[in-house]
Amino acid sequence: MAPSHFQPRKHPQLVALMQRILERMQSDLLDAVGLAIIVYDKRNDERPSVLAAQGVGAELVEAQLAGIGGPVPDAIAHQVPVLSLDLWTDDRWPELTLAAMRDRSPQHQSSWEQVHGAAAVPGVWADEATVVVCCTLSQPASAATVASLFNYEQLVSAALITTAAENATAIEDIITVLQSRGAIEQAKGALMGLVRCDAEHAWSMLRRASQEFNVKLRDLAVALVEHISGAPAEQPDTGTPITPDNRTREAAGLMWAALSEAPLPQ
Amino acid sequence: MTNSQFRLSAAEAELPPVVTASGDIDLANVNEFSDVLNGAAADSDAITVDLSDVSYCDSAAVRALFAVAATTKLGLIVPTTGPITTLLSISGLDRVATVATRD
């Protein structure tokens, strides 16, 4: 066994990525009052801790881990997704109440009063190393909340795995994927409309064109969207926007022209 | 072949289709379980999953059930006691699915 194990919190870039993922979660889960990503590595002699948080996520998780109990410690202990319809009245955690949280962090009183549901989804990213992605909502949580956390847990676990493998460029790649996802979806949508095909076909056309013209797929997607709309592609405010070079723009123009003239597939 | 381990019975009268599972559900066969659940949910806005003959299931099965419950009204039939019942209450799946017991 290696003398010292990978410790996520010592990698500021990784923590920044986790923060970005939480921002994206916040836009998916509009009712979220708090979000957090918790890591727990049994091999390092330390307790579970919050790696990144939004809203009152950190305070709520720290209270749960301090012995009050809640979905997060249960998700860690039993390695199952945990859902609560109403956190303060849930009979599984009698000590986790509105009054208890008000006493602990009175400065967040108004947030505590909004809290209803919560969900926590655990994942394993290394032998004996667990990550939990959790949210607290101003609405009761539903199975759809848990299903949405599954997607983020996979993203978070993948980021931890690749970073733990000391592949520093992987973080850059994941940030770029997040950055370009909107444009790729838009480009796919435009192709689906033009050629009347499904999403998978549109994706394979994009991929093929990016190989033929030898340009990056994400750049091509942005160039394509800008070519069609004559306006900048939709990109998140955070991060470095993708700016396709002239060669890529030319490729996008050629691709669009060729497809516009081609007969529709039967 | 484990075809008989997850059996789908078509909807009868007003009742939703029933997926009957037996044996162990774990990482080794959870994809198969998910496929049967999704197949049942594809044609119906409600399904019933009978787990009363399941000897063991772990978090993989709980994940599959949460995922199907996200899009479909889920009914579960479980034994009165045992590991499955415990897992349902720890996870809170019993709060978003309708649970009936069978001894």
Mutate to test the interface with B, among A72, A76, A80, A150 (most CBs of B within 10 A): A80
Interface test with A, best of B88, B89, B95 (most A CBs within 10 A): B95
> Given an 8 Å threshold on Cβ–Cβ distance, is A82 in contact with B59?
no
In this prediction, the residues of chain B whose per-residue pLDDT falls under 50 are 1-2
Q: What is the pLDDT of residue B55?
A: 87
- How distant is the Cα of A141 from the closest Cα of chain B, in angstroms? 9
pLDDT at residue number A96: 97
The nearest CA of chain B is from the CA of A150 a distance in Å of 8
Q: Which residue of B has its CA nearest to A74?
A: B90
**Beta-carbon pairs below 8 A across chains A and B:** 58
State how far residue B84 is from chain A, nearest Cα, in angstroms.
12
Closest CA to A96 of A55, A59, A63, A133: A63
Residue from B30, B66, B73 whose CB has the most chain A CBs within 10 Å, to mutate? B66
CATH class (in words) of the domain with range B16-102: alpha beta
Residues from chain A contacting residue B91 (CB–CB below 8 Å) = 78, 80-83
**Would you call A199 helix, strand, or coil by DSSP?**
helix
Chain A residue with CA closest to B74: the answer is A143
Interface contact flag, A146 B70, Cβ < 8 Å: yes
Write down how long chain A is: 266
Tell me the chain A residues in contact with residue B71 when contact means C-beta distances shorter than 8 Å.
Answer: 144
**Does the beta-carbon distance from B67 to A147 stay under 8 Å?**
yes
Rounded to the nearest angstrom, the minimum Cα separation between A83 and chain B is 5
Q: What is the pLDDT along chain A (266 residues), one digit of tens a residue?
A: 333 567 888 888 889 999 999 999 999 999 999 999 999 988 777 889 999 999 999 999 999 999 999 999 999 999 999 999 999 999 999 999 999 999 999 999 999 999 999 999 999 887 678 999 999 999 999 999 999 999 999 999 888 887 776 654 555 555 666 666 778 888 888 888 778 787 778 888 888 888 888 888 888 988 888 888 777 776 766 567 788 899 999 988 888 888 877 655 54
Q: Does the beta-carbon distance from A143 to B63 stay under 8 Å?
A: no
Check residue B5 and report its DSSP letter: G
Burial class (CB in 10 A: 0-12, 13-18, 19+), A45: exposed
Cβ within 8 Å, pair B95-A83: yes
The domain segmentation of chain A, as residue ranges, is 8-167, 170-261
Structure tokens given for A169: 């460029």
Chain B residue whose CA is closest to A146: B66
Tokens in use for A44?
């390092």
ipTM of the complex as predicted? 0.90
Q: Which residues contact A242 (CB under 8 A, 6 or more apart)?
A: A176, A179, A180, A183, A218, A219, A222, A233, A235
pLDDT at A262: 62
Specify the CATH number of the domain A8-167: 3.30.450.40
User: Using an 8 Å Cβ cutoff, are A123 and A131 in contact?
Assistant: yes
User: Rounded distance, CA B56 to CA B82, Å?
Assistant: 9
Distance CA A182, CA A163 (A): 24
User: Which pLDDT score, from 0 to 100, does residue B2 have?
Assistant: 46
Distance (Å) from the alpha carbon of B63 to chain A's nearest alpha carbon: 7
Helix A12-28 to helix A143-164 angle (10° resolution) is 160
User: How many Å apart are CA A253 and CA A160, to the nearest integer?
Assistant: 38
Residue with tokens 């836009």: A27
Point out the residue among B58, B67, B93 whose CB comes nearest to the CB of A150: B67
C-alpha–C-alpha distance, residues A114 and A134, integer Å: 17
Rounded to two decimals, what is the model's pTM? Answer: 0.71
> Which residues of B sit within 8 Å Cβ distance of A?
58-59, 62-63, 66-67, 69-71, 74, 87, 89-93, 95-97
Q: Where are the domains of chain B?
A: 16-102
